[in-house]
Structure 1
Amino acid sequence: MKRTLAFGGIVATAGLLAAGLAAPAQAAGDVVGTPLANTGLAAYEITNFWLAENAANLIAATPYDVETKVVAKHISTGGPAADSKPGVVPAIGDEKKSTSKSKNVNLPKTSGKVFFSDGYEYVEVTNKYGWKYKVKKAKNPHWCTATSIQSAYKNLVATAGSCVYDTVGNKATMENWVFVPGYYQGKTPWGIYVGKQAFTHYDFDVYEDGDRDYAFVTVYNGVKGLHDGSGVYGGWKEVSAEVFFKFPKAWRDINFLCHRWDGKFYVWAFEDAGRLGDNVGGQGLAYNQKVGKPVFVFGYPSGSHPDGNYAYSGKTLKWSYGKTFAASASAIKAEELIGVKSSFTGEGALGSSWLVGYKNTRRLGYLNGVTIGVSDTDSNNRYDTSVSPYFDGELYGVYSAAKNLWSGSIAVPY
């Protein structure tokens, strides 16, 4: 199932998943807010979904498929125009301006992967104690790139809109959405953060406008596995009967996240890792900036170039650097994009952060773009360009709707 995007002379196709949430999206002016996991219990279940069986679902995930094909040389026409005065929001911990510089590129702690799936199925397993219970196995698990960003409660993630909203299945959002900063082969060094509510522009949600292909997602406190020496994420914790019977009866009947043993009651519990911004920081935000500024692009590119060269594995964070230029994509009503020279391949790079004013010593800058497509503009079968929506005052309006919402802890929902 693929969606075709035409960037001027570029045609990009992005595989999208069906989601299907009962809760409807709510629009306020040009902003659409959509619940991802609107209760602590739902977020707790999603956490276990990804971390069960030594994070088997995370490890099985593949990069969100973006296949890019050049049909003609890239042509930039028109271009972005600021709709109000330029503005910036300082990064977490960088509210006081720093002028320090470094020649080395130190990778930001704020970057990571967002994971989502196309549903699940129950699979019965037996733990080391001989207890049998059921876990959820992901159907078609995928990931994109994203970054932590400044907000009132240090709980906000920025990525491409198409890494959150299902524009093909028309079922609001992707399922089981989580952010894992610094993810590497099943490791979650700063915890896993379940998405609570997503925000995007009305024009992207309704019209799939490429100029508005961005999203901000509030996340719950991170969780880590209880350390029992087994390497397993999470662990059984004895609770009172009162707490046990608050869990859904269906879960109790199949021993899913709650279990009775020898007259005692247990639930599967996690350790609260705290707020996202406290653990990894958060990038600032810049909007209505002049085109032509140098930017660092940080992401997890994967897959091959058109000539078959497998340049990136998607396992580790990579960077590229260049100056932005005006771009357009009239076929998807995207007339105000920006581009940057980059060798990133498309798979996995969707949602990569574009940072202006990046400070190596603090690993912080201002988010000024997110990758929504890549292109080979000189027809040599190697990708050389990434494109992003232009961050203007309307983007700041979406950010403003998301930045002041509290989320809370989900280590044990009751």
Structure 2
Amino acid sequence: MPHTLSRGVRRAVSGVATAALLALAGPLAVPAAPAAAAAGTGQVSTVAYAAAEQTAALSYWTPARMAQAGRTVDLGATGPLTKTWTGKAIPSIGRLFFVNSRGDDSWCTASSVTSGNRSVIMTAAHCSRVGSSSFNTFTDMVFAPGYAKGKTPYGRYAVKTAMTPRSWVEKSVGDVAAMVVATPAGGKRLTDAVGEQKIAFGRAAGERIVTFGYPGTTPQRGEQLLYCVGTSAVAPENEQRVPCDLGGGASGGPWLAGFDSATGKGTLVSVNSHGAGDGGSPMYGPAFDKTAQAVYDAAQRG
């Protein structure tokens, strides 16, 4: 569910072949290499977008195109465990729009986090590129913090670099990504404008988790922030799980431990990766291990 909210159901490759990913982009044949430059050393693989590509992405994602993205997606009814967020606005969470390797308009969910450069968002790796492929990277990536019903009250931020584990590129293992967004001309750096969530690595399962996302399920169709609440548990393949049925488009959405509804703040301990079946419960997320920390560290130095 491309999660990229793909036009179809995307299947994970890393030992969870029957689980649907929560994005709106599907697995694809290898196309010609995109203009974005892919590189990487050690544990981290990086895709960089030139200034001209960033400008083009902002021009591409008009308010009308953002609103249209969900209108052609039919992922069925919003699940019974998923609720509409009606509390204090959370500007640090937003929709991440992009064009997938098929050329489809797609989106995921992402959140701004504490970082040295005050410009990092965390999401799922499959919201950046197709796993087990060195060429299938996505383009025209724009983060809209605090997105709600067609409104972008905090502006739009073009992605300038996207980091994923090299294990995702090679084996579809480690579904986490950190991205650096460009500061708009005359604007503020991301976390100065919208705030941030704390981030932690190596946290054990068993915490109360609030997980957020912008699924393309009906009736919201990606236009509203939705959430689930539950206790995390250990899952196979170095993952954790929570009772949640957020659908496609919620991929990359934050798992917040110690969440305070009065402030809209918590501590990011994982991100939505895939559900059981077509958006069914539970939701799985990658353990934030040393590899995830290396991805984050590479971004906050960027």
* TM-score bracket for this pair, using the shorter chain length: 0.7 to 0.9
Residue of structure 2 equivalent to 1:32: 45
Report what 1:114 is aligned to. 96
Partner of 2:111: 147
CA deviations 1:292-347 (Å, max 9, x no partner) are 111110111222xxxxxx4653211112111111112xxxxxx1110000132x21
Partner residue in 1 for 2:291: 394
Does the alignment pair 1:280 with 2:225?
no
103, 114, 123: which is aligned to 1:159?
123
Q: Distance in 2 between matches of 1:285 and 1:19?
A: 36
Distance 1:119 1:300 in 2: 21
For the residues of structure 2 that align with 1:390 and 1:118, how far apart are their CA atoms? 25
Q: Judge conservation of contact 2:208–2:230 (CA < 8 Å) in 1.
A: yes
* 2:152 aligned residue: 188
Matched, 1:294 2:208: yes
Q: 2:252 matched to which residue of 1?
A: 351
Residue in 2 aligned with 1:361? 262
Note if 1:177 corresponds to 2:141.
yes
Pairing partner for 2:69 from 61, 66, 87: 61
Distance in 2 (CA, whole Å) between partners of 1:8 and 1:29 is 25
Q: TM-score, normalised to structure 1's length?
A: 0.61
Q: CA RMSD in A?
A: 3.0
C-alpha distance 182-16 of structure 1, shift in aligned 2 (>3 A): farther
Question: Is the alpha carbon distance of 1:382 and 1:27 closer, same or farther for their aligned partners in structure 2, counting shifts above 3 Å?
Answer: closer
List per-residue Cα deviations over 1:234-289 (Å, max 9, x = no partner). xxxxxxxxxxxxxxxxxxxxxxxxxxxxxxxxxxxxx6332110111111111111
Provide the rounded CA distance (Å) in 2 between the counterparts of 1:173 and 1:341.
31
2:188 is equivalent to residue 213 of structure 1? no
Write out per-residue CA displacement over residues 135-172 of structure 1, whole angstroms, 9 at most, x where no aligned residue: xxxx5211111111111121111100000113377524
Structure 1 gaps, min length 5: 69-103, 121-138, 223-270, 304-309, 329-334, 406-414
Residue 51 (structure 2) pairs with residue 46 (structure 1): no
Q: Deviations over 1:9-32 (max 9, x none)?
A: 943266246684235422221111
Conservation of the 8 A alpha-carbon contact between 1:15 and 1:64: no
Contact 2:212 2:255 in 1 (8 A): yes
Identity %: 28
**Separation in structure 2 between the aligned mates of residue 198 and residue 166 of structure 1, nearest angstrom:** 13
Shift of the alpha carbon at 1:179?
A: 0.4
Query: How far apart in 1 are the matches of 2:57 and 2:101?
Result: 11
Q: Which has the higher strand share?
A: 1
C-alpha distance in 2 between matches for 1:382 and 1:58: 22
The aligned length equals: 280
Q: CA 1:49–1:302 in structure 2 vs 1: closer, same or farther (change >3 Å)? A: closer
Q: CA deviation at 1:404?
A: 2.0
Which has more radius of gyration? Answer: 1
Measure the CA separation in 1 of the matches of 2:151 and 2:157: 13
Unaligned runs of 5+ in 2: 1-7, 77-85
